[in-house]
Structure 1
Amino acid sequence: MNSLSDSVFKDIALTALAPVIWGSTYIVTSQFLPPDRPFTAALIRVLPAGLLLVLWMRTLPALRYWWRLLLLAALNIGFFQALLFVAAYRLPGGMAAVVGAIQPLLVMFLAWAVDKRRPLALAVWASIGGIFGMALLLLSPHSVWNGVGIMAALLGAGCMAAGAWLTRRWSLPLPVMALTGWQLLLGGVILLPAAWLADAPLPALSHSQLLSYAYLSIAGALLAYCLWFRGIARLSPVAVTSLGLLSPLTAVVLGWVFLGQQMSGLAMVGLVMVLGSVVTVQISGRR
């Protein structure tokens, strides 16, 4: 029994590393990357990492799985990244994160509506508490409610939730690294037209900018998504998506530590509520 508990704890801890790494990319992007090139940043993050993994694994999916793989790549990578940056440019980061916090509830709804798996009340209330905690942590009276940004954030959350649910539901017969590589590669191909048409060409890059792009690709895509899809294969989609709340939480803490950003007492209450929500959903997922 103890070995099983240790195994589950290890799976949760390794999966949690993915959103923590994603949370660190906010400070890297804002402080080191060329401005106003969101789709290019997303493309550079996912396409090289996908190409490396595909070449390393050399695993070609069976023809009958390609349409599923393409849909997963669109939901988890291509559409999600594009909508994420649309929301980020039209909303304050806090507002986008609060809207994105509905992902665990969306996964519960999909499992209930399609798989006829009724969610535990504890998980539902914990997820709602996580949304309120995120609002206390990130929102302010001056937050801007932009309709297009809100819609993009909602659609992005829906894409990520549906992608996590379908990834677990279909369980494609591919090694985790091959599954990750193909999704990153195909997602990068989906992002390519947006980066080409919407973003300005990159200027000459400094050494720090090159290292930042390398970090986004190697840590933010190759490593983080391998851990994320490994977690989806071993944990419930609700438990995995609730760990996604650690991403904006990490961004706030890093901004507080390294950029001197202030945190009010109410924000600290929100931080505790978010952590409590994540822990409670993990506990409920064991039942």
Structure 2
Amino acid sequence: MKSNPTHRFSFIVAGFFFALLWSSASAATKIGLQSAQPFVIAVTRFFIAGAIMLFIAHVILGKRLPQKQEWKQLVIYGLLNISIYLGLYVTAMQNVSAGLGSLSVGTSPVLISIMAAIWFRQPIKMVTIISLLLCTAGIIIAAYPLIKDSYATPMGITILLISMISYSAGAIYFSKNKWSDLHILTINGWQTLAGGIILLPVLLVTYHRDKNIFDFKWIASVLWLAIPVSIAAVQLWLYLLKDNPVKASFWLFVCPISGFIIASILLKEPLSLYTFFGVAFVIAGLYLVFKRRAL
């Protein structure tokens, strides 16, 4: 695609809003957790987002339904990318700050790089190892004062990291399989709905009526996570990837920064020198990967 002022402006605007919406998920989840249990928020979000995407894909756009092997692929992808990843993520957010949640999301490209190298039996580049060490150090530095002040727990951070591993495995699984001409909204809609259905038994087993208040905070959280995050942010990301994958990846650098700012404004989470140094380490680690095109 040829570069021109209008196109560059569109790319920048799309990237800015992607980073803003994507990083807002942690704060929105924390707000929702003030009124409801994690799986009540998650499952409702998945059903709303999935229903909207499938309505657009099949009713408005008239795209075809998945066939045969594609159903199996969608269920597995939904298990990794929705049920395990977001199920654990929303659970971890009970014991982790919103800013730290955003910071962990930014490290996923490095995890994907390492897991892909192991999956496809390729040598892991030294720059990737250094990047992982920098990102890990950054999370530890940023988490130190949060653990000290009870904004995060070791268990919460562990669950958060496991969720990122599942997300990375889902990304590799998605790229490894053939989806022929299946529309992206169809893939996104069915895998989101499948992930929600898989989590239904967990919701039923863990549900406690007295722990859920279906007030404005819960409604606002679920709708924000379902529409601006699960639908709008993903579509903006696909636009950025289609235009220029390398340049698109750099917008992930903005997510930890905007995530901490949003958490500080909405949730009054503390910003300190530890925060800035932690974010700097993570961004340095990600920059090394993208600069050398190790992903």
Q: Which residue of 2 aligns with 1:283?
A: 291
* 1:40 alignment partner in structure 2: 40
- Who is 1:177 aligned against? 185
8 Å CA contact retained: 1:49, 1:218: yes
Match in the other structure for 2:129: 124
User: What is the aligned partner in structure 2 of residue 205 from structure 1?
Assistant: 215
| Residue in 2 that maps onto 1:50 | 50
Counterpart of 1:61 (choices 66, 75, 83) is 66
Contact 1:75–1:159 (8 Å) recurs in 2: yes
Structure 1 contact 236–285 (Cα < 8 Å) conserved: no
Please state whether the residue corresponding to 1:69 is helix, strand or coil: helix
Question: CA 1:156–1:51 in structure 2 vs 1: closer, same or farther (change >3 Å)?
Answer: same
- Separation of aligned partners in 1, 2:196 and 2:124: 34
Indicate how the Cα distance of structure 1 residues 233 and 106 shifts in structure 2: closer, same or farther if over 3 A, else same: farther
Query: What is the letter of the counterpart of residue 279 of structure 2?
Result: L
- Please list, as runs of the form range in 1=range in 2, the aligned pairs for 1:187-198 lying within 5 A after superposition: 187-198=195-206
For residues 1-287 of structure 1, what are the structure 2 equivalents within 5 Å? 3=3, 14=14, 18=18, 20-31=20-31, 34-58=34-58, 59-90=64-95, 103-140=108-145, 142=148, 144-146=153-155, 149=156, 151-173=158-180, 174-201=182-209, 202-206=212-216, 209-228=218-237, 247-285=255-293
Contact 2:26 2:99 in 1 (8 A): no
Structure 2 stretches lacking a partner, 5+ long = 59-63
**How far 1:88 moved relative to its partner?**
3.0
Distance 2:240 2:176 in 1: 13
Deviates more, 1:87-96 or 1:178-187: 87-96
Residue aligned with 2:93, SS: helix
- Could you list the per-position Cα deviations for residues 8-61 of structure 1 after superposition, in whole angstroms to 9, with x for gaps in the alignment? 998898578556424213333334665341111111222111111112112311
Give the percent of matched residue pairs that are identical in Structure 1 and Structure 2.
21
CA contact (8 A) 2:96 2:157 kept: yes
Show CA shifts across 1:232-284 (max 9, x none): 778879x86x9667555433222334444432223222222323333332222
How far did residue 210 of structure 1 move? 2.8
Using the size of structure 2 for normalisation, the TM-score is 0.76
Q: What 5-or-longer segments of structure 1 have no aligned partner? A: none
**CA 1:189/1:40 → structure 2, altered by over 3 Å: closer, same or farther?**
same
